Structure formats: C-alpha cells, structure tokens
Amino acid sequence: MQFLATAYLQLSYTDDHSAESDSITNQKKLVEDFVSSHPDIKLVAEKVDDGYSGILFDRPAFQEMMADIREGKTNCVIVKDLSRLDRNAIIPLAKMK
C-alpha cells in the first residue's frame, strides 16, 4: 500500500510574521527525513499554520487538510508530534493512572 501523505506543520506563535519561522523549517526537515526513509510514503501536500493556536481547529491549513482527507486526496498525515494537531492531545502520564 502506498500512503499519500500530507505534512502538517503548525506553530502557535512566531517572532517574525514576515518570514517562515525556524520551528516550521525544523518540522519540515523532520517530516522530509521521515518520508525519505519510508518508500511506501509519497508526500503529496504540505499544509502550514504558522502563528495559529493549536487549541482551536479553525486554522486555515488544518481545514484544507481535513477537506483533502474527506476528498481522498490524502490518506496519511505526518506531524512532528500530536501537539501540532491538537494541544489537548498530550495527556500527562499522571492523569492516565
């Protein structure tokens, strides 16, 4: 099976809104490195929400990505970690016990 992947990159706050943040660049590099070592993954899109809160889901690129999933354009999402999708996705281990 070939995965048609979207790289989703998100950063809540940036120092300079006129340029892509270093964190976004670092996230992109991590995703590219991961994809390069997995021949069953084809990167078909990149969605970037730089400067948007990870708490809300009305981020423009996030909504575009969700539309692509619904339309079958992508069947895999690659993120640096789950907090890029949803800040509430990380549950402290103490709360899991």
pLDDT band at 97 (very low <50, low <70, confident <90, very high): very low
Burial 12-30 (b: 16+ CB within 10 A, else e): bebeeeeeebebbeebbeb
The residues pairing with 46 across neighbouring beta strands, listed in sequence order, are 7
pLDDT digits (tens, 9 = 90+) for 4-41: 999 999 887 645 555 555 688 999 999 999 999 999 99
pLDDT at 43: 97
**Structural domains present in the chain:** 3-96 (3.40.50.1390)
Q: Identity (one letter) of the amino acid at 32? A: E
Of 59-63, 69-73, 84-88, which range is least confident?
84-88
Contact 85, 45 (CB under 8 A): no
